[in-house]
């Protein structure tokens, strides 16, 4: 019998497209809003092919995403529901869409990368992101879905009390900035990202209560200096780049940081021996095919911070897959 770990790896390629198709056609939304239903009832609600839907639901049942009762009614599991409910801050629909429509295609490069190495010059994936307004909005939606729920945990972990002005570097539409503002009514925050992102900042419902304390500065963090603040945050940014580029960005953060201040790095962390976790190892491969970076251990991030001039570095681990590494400027 095939070992479970190998079986999951062999058949895992089917999971994301099934999840994506179910998200796109409202299967999970129907189960949440209209309640459990049989295949026939769900197919009628959604106006989809019953046979195909049943096969998808069997996969989702095997994955533990849905359950099937004795009367044949399917329901979302309590564990999965927050991540598949568009109204929940932990919703992953946008991220699942990005993995299916963007990342899977790029994974086709693995064979040539393995046999020939990755080309030194290659088109940036951000060229696709910024090719038109629809692509930009879809990417920003994916980043919000991936980041906001996690940021609600990481902002209190970072401890925003006493911070006056947060600068969210490469902050997209501001998932971390908004989460931080929700923890401290005295805090102000600036999102710094490419100018085209500006009109999208504040569109998310969660941002509206803090809109008067949230602003946006457009710029390129490679070409421009960063806005000044006593706390600069890099949320899921540095894993896009190689070590020297990270140090360059952190040096800019050091110049922009008002002392006493600090920089926050929020990202996935490898275990010290780099044997896992699986999500970090998988996304480390994605960083290779999509970007120029990689995921790191806490010690590797601390070494980058120290090269950039930060001191008294520390790691604050969450209960999830992303954590906070902090460097101080005294």
Same domain, 206 and 75: no
Handedness of CA 269, 298, 146, 128 (dihedral sign): negative
Same domain, 275 and 153: yes
E strand segments, the chain: 66-68, 74-76, 165-169, 188-193, 214-218, 229-235, 257-270, 296-297, 311-316, 322-329
Handedness of CA 282, 237, 101, 31 (dihedral sign): positive
Ordered per-residue pLDDT tens for the chain, 330 residues: 889 888 888 888 889 899 999 999 999 999 999 999 999 999 999 999 999 999 999 999 999 999 999 999 999 999 999 999 998 888 999 889 888 888 888 888 889 989 998 876 666 667 777 888 888 998 898 889 889 999 999 999 999 999 999 999 999 999 999 999 999 999 999 999 999 999 999 888 788 899 999 999 999 999 999 999 999 999 999 999 999 999 999 999 999 999 999 999 999 999 999 999 999 999 999 999 888 899 999 999 999 999 999 999 999 999 988 999 999 998
Q: For residue 124, what pLDDT is reported?
A: 66
Is the residue at 194 inside a domain?
A: yes
Nearest to 249 by CA among 280, 276, 222: 222
pTM assigned to the model: 0.86
Total number of domains in the chain: 2
Same domain, 75 and 192: no
Gap between the Cα atoms of 42 and 161, Å rounded: 48
Same domain, 30 and 170: no
What range defines the domain where residue 40 resides? 4-84
Q: Domain with 40 in it: what CATH number?
A: 1.10.10.10
Last residue of a domain, which of 33, 63, 84?
84
Same domain, 251 and 202: yes
Nearest to 98 by CA among 150, 135, 131, 64: 135
Is the residue at 118 inside a domain?
A: no
Do 297 and 272 form a contact (C-beta atoms < 8 A)? yes
Same domain, 191 and 256: yes
Q: For residue 94, what pLDDT is reported?
A: 86
Q: Domain with 139 in it: what CATH number?
A: 3.40.50.150
């Amino acid at each position: 019998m095939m070992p479970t770990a190998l079986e999951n790896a062999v058949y895992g390629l089917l999971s994301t497209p099934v999840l994506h198709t179910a998200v796109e056609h409202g299967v999970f939304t129907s189960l949440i809003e209209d309640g459990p239903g049989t295949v026939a009832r769900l197919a009628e609600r959604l106006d989809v092919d019953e046979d195909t839907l049943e096969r998808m639901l069997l996969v989702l049942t095997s994955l533990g995403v849905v359950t099937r009762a004795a009367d044949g009614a399917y329901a979302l599991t309590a564990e999965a529901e927050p991540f598949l409910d568009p109204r929940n801050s932990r919703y992953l629909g946008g991220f699942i869409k990005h993995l299916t429509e963007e990342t899977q295609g790029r994974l086709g490069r693995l064979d040539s990368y393995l046999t020939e190495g990755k080309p030194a010059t290659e088109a940036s994936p951000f060229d696709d992101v910024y090719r038109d307004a629809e692509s930009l909005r879809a990417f920003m939606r994916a980043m919000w879905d991936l980041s906001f729920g996690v940021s609600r945990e990481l902002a209190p972990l970072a401890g925003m009390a006493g911070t006056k002005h947060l600068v969210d570097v490469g902050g997209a539409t501001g998932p971390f900035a908004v989460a931080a503002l929700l923890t401290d009514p005295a805090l102000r925050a600036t999102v710094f990202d490419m100018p085209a992102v500006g009109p999208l900042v504040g569109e998310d419902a969660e941002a509206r209560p803090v809109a008067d304390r949230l602003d946006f500065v457009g710029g390129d963090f490679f070409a421009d200096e960063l806005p000044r603040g006593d706390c600069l945050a890099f949320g899921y940014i540095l894993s896009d780049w190689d070590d020297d580029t990270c140090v360059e960005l952190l040096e800019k953060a050091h110049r922009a940081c008002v002392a006493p201040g600090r920089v926050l790095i929020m990202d996935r962390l490898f275990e010290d021996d780099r044997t896992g976790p699986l999500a970090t190892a998988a996304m480390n491969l994605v960083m290779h095919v999509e970007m120029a970076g990689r995921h790191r251990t806490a010690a590797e991030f601390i070494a980058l911070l120290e090269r950039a001039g930060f001191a008294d570095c520390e790691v604050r681990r969450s209960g999830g897959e992303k954590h906070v590494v902090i460097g101080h400027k005294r």
